[in-house]
Each structure stands twice: as C-alpha cells, then as structure tokens.
Structure 1
C-alpha cells in the first residue's frame, strides 16, 4: 500500500484531517490535483468565525424573497439555466431554515464553532504561522438605522447567550475605529472573538508543510475513480493507481464525483463566489474585515491588498465566470472603502460546498468499510477545518471524539 490512509483533497479541511491523523501515528498520503489551498480555501474572506453561532439560513420573509427573485441583488445572483437542478435543493434549504429547524442546526454546529479558534491556534503555533493571523474580529456594517437596530437586538441576545464579545459602534465610533472608511455606513457591530487570516491559501499551505514535517506524504494528481477491492481502497489517477487501507474524501464541492458512482446521494451543491484585490488608497487603512450587510459583500485586509469577496452565485457547474456580481459589489464598495486600482488580471472564482441542512458531512460512509467523508462546510471551511479534522481523526483512530459526531453523520441522508 502507498499509505495507511489516503486523503483526497488538500483544501483546509483535507489538510487538517491529514495533520491530525499523522499526529496520531498514521501513515498518511494527501492527494490533490493542485497544490494545497489552491481551490476554495484560497479565495474566502479569511475569517475564523467564532461568532457565527447561527448558520446562514435561506431568507424566509416575503420582501427579501421578492428582491432576490428579481435577480438584481448583490448578495445573490442566479443563472436561470441553473434553476431546474437547484430548485429541489433550494426548497429543502428553505425548509431547513424554518426557525425551529435553524435553531437545531445552530445547536448542532455550536460545538465545532466553539472550538474553531482553539484548534486553529494549536496548529498555528506548531506550524509557526502566527504572522498570518490577526486578532481583533470583524464587523457587520450598516447603511440604514432600521437595519442596524434590528440586527443589533439579535446580536445582543446571541452575545449574551453564548458569551461572545461584541460592541455596537455608532457612526462616530465606527469612524474612530476605522478612520480609513469613506462615508456610507451609519454604524457597525464589532465581533471581537473571531480572528482573521491575511492569506488563507498560505495558511493552508503552511498546515500542509507541517503535515510533511511530521512524516506525511503530499502527492499531486487528479483522482478520477475509487474502488474497494480485497480490503484495500484503490484511487485511480492519470499517473497511476494509489492504494490505502482507508480513504478520506475531502474534495469539497467535487466530492460527489467520486462517491456518487458508489451509490451515495448526499445533496451537495456548490455556491459560487468571486474575489478581487485592490490597491490600498492613501489613508484607506483598514484593521479588520468588514461586511456591508445590507448589500452583501465583504472587504478584508490581506497581504496583497484589500480583498473584496462577493455573495452567492447560483450557476451551472462548469459554466463560465460572470462579471456581474463582482461589478455590483465593487460599485457599492469603491467609495466607502476607498478602493484603489484592481490588482488581479481577472477575478478569482471559487465554489463553496453546501448541504441544505447547513451541517457538514463528517464521519464513516456507512456502506463501505474504511471510507470516510469530510466535506460540505457551508461557507465555513476555513473556520471549521482544524476542528473537523480533529473530530474525524479521533473517530478513525478509535479515540473518544471531543464533540458528538452524530449531527454530521453521512447516514442522515440515507
């Protein structure tokens, strides 16, 4: 065999699984068609989101639904041609976002969220990556008083219930905290427990180097097919076949391409998103990521400049990128964030792997011995990578898992 465990997918989740397994004495190979952290893990807003105690649910109020239906919003854009395949998934997502079901999802996700910063800190210290991570949290910024006050009431309850550190900033307070902002926001909610990453891709690659330093093997190749024969998992690539006793699928939005032929029907969809980097204009300093909550985008300070990340695009798999959503967000962001010139030749586009019940898929496949899943983190892959990696590694090595794994079981989908 090439390894005891073969992990397919070197995004933040797969790398974290591999690190935790090799720390527990397993001989591990990590396989990806590209380098570590070069897909979805590269292009996010860089948040280790300790304060995200409520998953991103589907809007249920009529006014918001009507706005989205018009397809002119920045937070969500859809391609009409993609709707036939997305509608059943969206209907289930809407159903799971009902208040009682969303509350259950929040309770189920809280143990992983609560450990997100802790588990990152452990890997960051061991890998020597503290220069890539900043304390200070992030902000939700608002353009109208009604939206600000409505959200503030919700956030105050969440902070009190979960012991989260937050503060409300009026216009003057926001200006003192972020003097580089232009006019546009009337206030903000500052969540102080999360941390931000100035280069998420580089953080993932740093974890991969830690994996190698601990004895793990990093391999490049695209897994095209998996099969179980004679107690061994075989992974076919263009460069040949790899073999391992156990196999972990951590390919994010592409996971179903490998496990679908084995009969698994997990409802996994990819929500697309874009980012662009901008030069920092004179005086336009920014200390933490800021979400323009009423419009639907985030601007985060990164090593390369200011990174603008868009909301959700629903499109057909493999369809060409569209400039529409980024252009909308840039139009709103340019003056308030004082964006300088574009620094990238083209917008980066990525795919966020999402399940309709807003929980990741972590655990044994169920019908095939030695097959394990770790994907579907619903916008929180960077946040939950190390916490998920620890959980799966503990399950695979027979250690009592540090959180209850049942809410994330693949078996919930049949």
Structure 2
C-alpha cells in the first residue's frame, strides 16, 4: 500500500487535508482509529464563523479572573488536580491575550477566517451536502441591556476592521427572528455572513465520501505507529507514503512528541446534549447565551446544547457539572423537552497559547507536516487549512501567507 501522502486524523481538518490533496492528483491514505467525523468533529456547535477574526482570548480583567478562580462560573470550569500542570500554558495564553497582542494575532488569523465560508461552500457543493448547510448567520443573545450594547460596540469594531457583517436586534426584533425564545431577553447580535450546519458528523462524512469517490483510501489504524519515511500500521496492512500529515486534533501533540517536538498544546474540554423541543417550539439558527455561557442550536438529532470550557487532563473521566448547571438556564430561554441522549458527549478542543493553529512543515523532518491546534474553530477552518497544506505540499501558490502559523514560532 504505497501512497504519495498519508494523513493521520479523520476529523474535519484531516479529512479536508486528504480531500484537497486527492483533488490535486496525489494518491492519499486517510488513517484514524475510527470512521471519519466520530471524535472531536462530532460534538461541535456546527458554526462556520466568518465573524471569528479575534480568536477566543483569556480574560484579563480582575473581575473575571476572580469569578473563574472560584470555579463556579457556568462558562469556564477547571479540574483542581490538573490546574498546576496547566499553569505554564495558561500563563502564556494570558500573555498573548493582552489587547495589543490579541490585535496582532487577529491580523494574521483573519486571513484564514475570511475564506472559511467560501471554502466550505465549495466543498459542500462538490460533496452534495447542501441539505446540511444553513445560511443566514448565527446569533448572540443577551439577558441585560448593558451586555447587549457592549456586544454591539464589539461587532461595530470588527466590522470596521475586517468587514464583519452584523445586525443588532432589539427586544422586538429578536422576538420576530426567534419567536420561541424568551421575551425577557434584552436583545441580540446576529453575524449574518457566517454559516452553520445541522450535522457536523454528517458533513465530515460527506467530505470523506467525496475523498473516496476521487480515489482516496480511508483506513482504520493506529497513528501512534507512524515511523519516518513514512510508514503507519493499519488493519489492512502497512501504509507507505512519501509524506505524512499529522492532523490528530487533541492527540496531535502525542504524535509530534514522538519525533521530538515539544509543543505547548492544551485541550479545552466541552460537553453536549440533545433535547427534543417542547410545545412545538422551533429554533431557526444557533444561539449563544453569552452571559450564561452555553449555546443551543438546531441539529438533525434535536436541539443541541453545548457547554463552554472545562480545563483538565484530556483523558480524564467525564465531569459534566457545566451541563447540569446551564441546562436550567437554557430552559429559561428556550422550551427544551426531554434529553435525547443516554449520556452527555465529551470532546476536546486542541489549543495553542497564541490562539492560532499550527499549519506547515515540521522543521527537522523532511516531508512531515502539521495541521492542528484550531481550538474553537476546527470546523470553521478545516477546508481552508486543507487547501493551505495541499498547496504547500504540491508547491503551488498559497491562498494565504502561511508564515504566522509555522511551528517554528514556538
């Protein structure tokens, strides 16, 4: 089994990399321990965030730090047993989140974000997955007028800097847009240029099927068996390839570490649960309750409630206290019915301290490539990351300057 490239990781990033390489005439094998789309890419909110030019920063104001230190906030929780080990990462994250540094990061990050919708739509059309796509944006909602007006100012600044199209909705306009939401809400901000999908797993599966239709090979195997020049063991035998791409999401650091790359990666854990809508209620778009720290979105399986951030060891047992804390708050805003899932889903977002993904060549190994660390924007940036890696591997002109995303920055 000889290929031009083996891609390790069957999430949205890995599948996008494999698909973009296969479309450019390379023979590609995609290897993961599960079928595509069944790990981290299964559990996200389904957002393609064209407005997400500023990646999620670490809070720096004293009030927020005190609130999070008490470990009772609904949007961020931490495992006490893990916090000492996480402190070096968190300090670097806090350092990069200073306003001037965050603005510099946004200037680089926005070059990827500006292509997220167009790259997804092109692959969606090619894969015949139009039924999963929901256009028209997504919405932040606010319980207090002060928080709403602050969000409008933020959206206005993003629009001025990066052309982020938004719409401010007062109480009446919000009720018109989402009649099933509570009338107690002060207002909302809708980011109109963003898209969303009703089944993230279904989208990754559609991309993977297109990859196979073009001649790509999906194989079940252990990425940990990767050896230089480049070989990996699968259930169907050993794959040999001229180049390898590590796109393993939260597990990428393990594979990179095997080759001597000690990268500052951490995982933000998160949960979701599906609910049946009660009393004929309908939700038209994803909705983030900013002040309570959860998001609800209409999915094929029901209304998906996703939590904020849980900081802890990647492989620690589930502790869905955030889900239990925000569920009553979500029921205040939208009439959720019974839980659909037997238990909460848990996944991990792979993060770097400067909030930007690692995309590019491994500096000490010929023909080894990295594509991971997308944090909250894995689904958003999967296709554009795939295109960028494919262009670099094939020597084509790149859609954006890849320099800010090189691993050498660490």
TM range (shorter): over 0.9
Q: Distance in 1 between matches of 2:320 and 2:51?
A: 31
Quote the residue 1:368 is aligned against: 365
Of 340, 344, 351, which aligns to 1:343? 340
Q: How big is the alpha-carbon RMSD for the aligned residues of Structure 1 and Structure 2?
A: 1.1
The offset of 1:151, in angstroms, is 1.7
Q: Name 2:66's counterpart in structure 1.
A: 66
Q: Any idea what SS the aligned residue of 1:284 has?
A: coil
Structure 2 matches for 1:218-367, cutoff 5 A? 218-228=218-228, 232-237=229-234, 240-367=237-364
Contact 2:388–2:399 (CA under 8 A) maintained in structure 1: yes
Q: Cα distance 1:253–1:328, how it changes in 2: closer, same or farther (>3 A)?
A: same
Post-superposition shift, 1:274? 0.3
- Give the counterpart of 2:396 among 375, 399, 403: 399
Give 1:401 deviation, angstroms. 0.7
In 2, Cα distance between equivalents of 1:236 and 1:130: 35
Q: Give the 5 Å matches for 1:1-400.
A: 1-228=1-228, 232-237=229-234, 240-400=237-397
What TM-score does the superposition give when structure 2 sets the normalisation length? Answer: 0.98
Kept after mapping to 2: 8 A contact 1:32/1:222:
yes
Partner of 2:376, secondary structure, is coil
Deviation at 1:241, TM superposition (A): 3.2
CA deviations 1:20-62 (Å, max 9, x no partner) are: 0001100000001001000111101100000111110000000
Instruction: State the Cα distance separating 1:221 from its structure 2 match.
Output: 1.5
Q: Which runs of 4+ in 1 moved over 3 A?
A: 236-241
SS in 1 for 2:226: strand
Q: Distance in 1 between matches of 2:104 and 2:304?
A: 33
The Cα of 1:163 is off from its aligned counterpart by: 2.0
Distance 2:385 2:311 in 1: 26
C-alpha contact 1:9 1:249 (8 A) present in aligned 2: yes
Contact 2:271 2:320 in 1 (8 A): no
8 Å CA contact retained: 1:301, 1:307: yes
Structure 1 residue 181: deviation in Å? 1.0
Q: Displacement, 1:237? A: 4.9
Using the size of structure 1 for normalisation, the TM-score is 0.97
CA distance, structure 2, for counterparts of residue 67 and residue 371 of structure 1:
43
Unaligned runs of 5+ in 1: none
Q: Gapped runs of 5+ residues in structure 2?
A: none
Distance of 2:29 and 2:385 partners within structure 1:
18
Q: Distance in 1 between matches of 2:214 and 2:136?
A: 31
- How far apart in 1 are the matches of 2:53 and 2:218? 34
**Distance in 1 of aligned mates of 2:348 and 2:317:** 13
Q: Offset at 1:331? A: 1.6
CA distance in 1, matches of 2:83, 2:103: 27
Give the Cα–Cα distance (whole angstroms) in 1 for the partners of residues 85 and 232 of structure 2: 29
- The question of whether the paired residues in 2 share the 8 Å contact of 1:119 and 1:387 is answered with yes
Determine the C-alpha separation between the residues in 2 that align with 1:352 and 1:377: 7
Query: Residue 13 of structure 2 contacts residue 383 of structure 2 at CA under 8 Å; is this kept in 1?
Result: yes
CA distance in 2, matches of 1:123, 1:151: 32
